[in-house]
Structure 1
Amino acid sequence: MAGASSTEVTAGSWATRSPWFLLPLLGAVIGLLLRIAALWLVELRWAPFQGVFELLATGAEPVGSAVVVACCAVVGLGFAGLRAQERLRVSVGPEELVLARGTGEHRFARTAVGAVYPDGTDLVVLDPDGGELTRQRCDLARARLRDALAEHGYPWRDRDPHSGEYREWTGDSPELSLRCNALLAERERALHRRSTGEAESLRRRLAELGAVVRDENKRQFWRTGPVRSDPGPTG
């Protein structure tokens, strides 16, 4: 990702390896339980989803159970692969900070980073003017992140340096533009639908318009940030 002098921050070996055997094992257990339940429920003709139960009950023992268990274990293995792809990786170099997830990357020059801090389960990067460059879900150890950033001179903060500037959005804020209020209303609907992808996309659009947003129990709080004509890194 970055140069040889970069410090890589990744999940520990247990967090990295455990999903590869825990999730297939969980899948196998679920598969066995489904097989046992299907053998019983297929005899109850009034039970719904008979087609599914008949499929799960197909085959004589022990081969039938082995097939269901193996299929569910493979599904668990697939989830482990997805989990590995979604895990955040951070590379801290003297000239560049890189946040990578799967095949996507967010790259920020050292001079473009004003602060890095944890916010709940997120890692947030601000520019020198207080604008939000990116907000990424992160389960990496905070101490390791802090030490890696300090090693290369990045400004780590233990909390949001602008925490006292946020105001709750209650449906219409006269200090915000009509466009920002409309986007916040749209985002509130997305939050109540639990559409996290849409809510995150709207957060980035608001940041570009100078409204930095954070959430608390599905309530939106905002503060003023710099308006960016260039929306910066995406991914």
Structure 2
Amino acid sequence: MTDRDDDRDSAITVRQKTSDRVLVAAGFPLLGAVAGLLLKLLAEWAASWPWIPWEGPVELVADAPEPTATVVSLVLGTLAGVVLVLMAEHGYVTVTIENDRITTARGDATRSVPRTAVSGVFADKKRLVVLGTRGEELIAEYKNEGADLPSVARLAEGFRAHGYPWLPDGDPYRDTYRRWVEDMPGLPFSGNALLKARAEALKKEDEKNVAELRRELAKLGVVVHDTDDRQWWRATARFQPSESSESPE
């Protein structure tokens, strides 16, 4: 569920439901405090074992005076929960739909495109994509790059309310993707090097580099997305590979 302005003639803003955000903001610090207390109790229990790894830190926690040990455990656990809340807030994607423009915001990043450049919009649980007239991704928010997307149903409702070409069947180019393998032909110059670097970033779960390398590939006219840690790519109208391959599931 999401919150949105229902005035057809004004901007429609689609975001995560406020109650869900409040639940995360309250729940993570509470869970962190409970986890901190449980770790303290575990340390006290482990201190009685004949041998344990990290013996020094465990005994330091177990021998700490009360109530200081309990208070510190609760505070540290709560702070860890707050950090998780801030990370979650940074990943929330807000979509503003206007008659002449689409804008997405996530953390400190904002992306905006004019309506005249848009050929279609689609979304699923893993990505939100605004397509351009050459098949390029004008705006793309991917879950594996840290994006936390609003409800697909509410996104569809918002885009349709303003008359944007919503694509209910998803990516119209799904059958043109090719699975990437190292040094494969058909890619623009330096494309293989960027995809190889991106494969390493995916293994390390380095969301920032994964996103940056996708944007660099987009500059070459290459669209890429992932299934099961495998990269699939296609060319936009700027580049048309001559060879075909299997498409992603």
Structure 2 CA distance for partners of 1:147 and 1:186, relative to 1, 3 Å: same
Identical-residue share of aligned pairs (%): 35
**SS of aligned partner of 1:178:** coil
User: How large is the Cα RMSD of the aligned pairs?
Assistant: 2.2
TM-score calculated relative to the size of structure 1: 0.86
Matching of residue 105 in structure 1 with residue 115 in structure 2: no
Structure 2 gap segments, 5+ residues each = 1-8, 142-146, 240-249
Distance 2:150 2:64 in 1: 45
Aligned to 1:233: none
Structure 2 CA distance for partners of 1:120 and 1:191, relative to 1, 3 Å: same
Give a deviation string over 1:20-64, Cα, whole Å, max 9, x none.
111011101111111101223344574232343244335433442
Aligned to 1:156: 166
Aligned to 2:100: 95
Letter aligned with residue 112 of structure 1: A
Give 1:14 deviation, angstroms.
Answer: 2.3
- Aligned counterpart in structure 1 of residue 189 of structure 2, from 148, 166, 178: 178
1:65-84 → structure 2 map (5 Å cutoff): 65-84=70-89
Give a deviation string over 1:128-183, Cα, whole Å, max 9, x none.
21101232134311111011111112121120011111122222332223311222
Higher alpha-carbon deviation: 177-186 or 145-154: 177-186
Aligned to 1:195: 206
Distance 2:204 2:89 in 1: 27
Aligned to 2:216: 205
**SS of aligned partner of 1:10:** strand
Q: Between Structure 1 and Structure 2, how many residues are aligned?
A: 225
**Contact 2:125/2:149 (8 A) holds in 1:** no
Letter aligned with residue 233 of structure 2: W
Higher alpha-carbon deviation: 113-122 or 12-21: 113-122
**Contact 1:207/1:227 (8 A) holds in 2:** no
